[in-house]
Structure 1
């Protein structure tokens, strides 16, 4: 990607859509006011057990460009990312969002980037992206440190 876009024309970076899946943890924490209760002087206060850090977690697929987040898609609970879910549920939503954001040009001229997860490298996924008219930017094998999501989106 760096070699391809190393020219001074930074406008071309806006043509790249990149995405990745991540776990998002959620919490259900009571405030002090919610957990307080009236007691008499001679009563001992109830022991409030320490709450677990996260009540649950959900998987989201997040796609963005240099202009910000294009679309995020929540994976159904207790499901994993498969090529079928990716091509039938996730990518159609992302491509529709791009077409809403770019009503004149739509997907024309856009390039698509994601990592080498099995759902991303499946023949079904590659065929779907090619059929949509997008150019697929290859992700180098064994290079998780080069994923744009790690630098610009998740920052962790």
Structure 2
């Protein structure tokens, strides 16, 4: 059954009004994003150097976009709980995502001491398949309803990934290991307040969604 934005946001706000911060502390949000070997800071940087007799220059980003790694992260108001990086040539399917969920469950036991957590993830096919739903029940992972096509209500999309990409602007990486090490270093360098701020912004976005009768919330 599809979740409607205009129905979900009032319910979440009602819970927040009753429980306040406690209703946010249990949210465990997760998502995936591509991390590039190089993302230029400006247009000038994105132009490859060419001799005056060379063909018309092309943007370096076209080349860089072919060199990337998929970053998967789950986090809450305290910080990152679990992160993974997809090997070159692999894809995220139901089997792979279930493996990730199992690793996430182990991490929750270790770093959150089985604190009650409600998983928030989007409606990508690997997240909503029958196999994944079965695995979620087995792992006793409760999920938070999330409408389709709603990155504006997903903290990773509107907060964490933009902050990470802003930091990485202009950085060069030669291989996957360098990308992974820098992303891990950046995530571990953020304070708990940084992550808490990202989750707290959900309240404002839920309210805007209600005020706009379910329409998309701009940045």
TM tier, smaller: 0.7 to 0.9
Bigger relative CO (Cα 8 Å, ≥ 6 apart)? 2
What is residue 122 of structure 2 aligned with on the other side?
115
Q: Give 1:134 deviation, angstroms.
A: 2.0
Q: Give the distance between the partners of 2:123 and 2:117, measured in 1 at CA.
A: 19
* 1:116-154 alpha-carbon deviations (Å, 9 max, x no partner): 000101011111112111211111133232222123312
Q: How many residues align?
A: 135
- Residue 145 of structure 1 aligns to a residue whose secondary structure is helix
Is structure 2 residue 86 aligned with structure 1 residue 75?
A: yes
Structure 1 gap ranges (5+): 28-46
Structure 2 gap ranges (5+): 1-11, 39-50, 164-219
Q: Give 1:8 deviation, angstroms.
A: 4.5
TM-score (normalised: structure 1): 0.74
- Residue 112 of structure 1 aligns to a residue whose secondary structure is strand
TM-score (normalised: structure 2): 0.54
What does 1:28-39 align with in structure 2 at a 5 Å threshold?
none
* 1:30-49 alpha-carbon deviations (Å, 9 max, x no partner): xxxxxxxxxxxxxxxxx6x9
Q: Give 1:115 deviation, angstroms.
A: 0.4
- Residue 162 of structure 2 aligns to a residue whose secondary structure is coil
| Aligned counterpart in structure 2 of residue 155 of structure 1, from 139, 158, 162 | 162
- After the TM superposition, which segments of 4 or more aligned residues of structure 1 sit over 2 Å from their partners? 1-9, 49-55, 141-145
Is structure 2 residue 160 aligned with structure 1 residue 142?
A: no
Structure with more helix by fraction: 2
Structure with more strand by fraction: 1
Give the aligned CA root-mean-square deviation in angstroms.
Answer: 2.6
* 1:64-84 alpha-carbon deviations (Å, 9 max, x no partner): 001111111111212221011
CA contact (8 A) 2:70 2:86 kept: yes
Is structure 2 residue 137 aligned with structure 1 residue 130?
A: yes
Q: Give the distance between the partners of 2:110 and 2:103, measured in 1 at CA.
A: 11
Report the more deviating stretch, 116-125 or 137-146. 137-146
What is residue 100 of structure 1 aligned with on the other side?
110
Q: Give the structure with higher Rg (CA).
A: 1
CA contact (8 A) 1:63 1:70 kept: yes
Is structure 2 residue 35 aligned with structure 1 residue 24?
A: yes
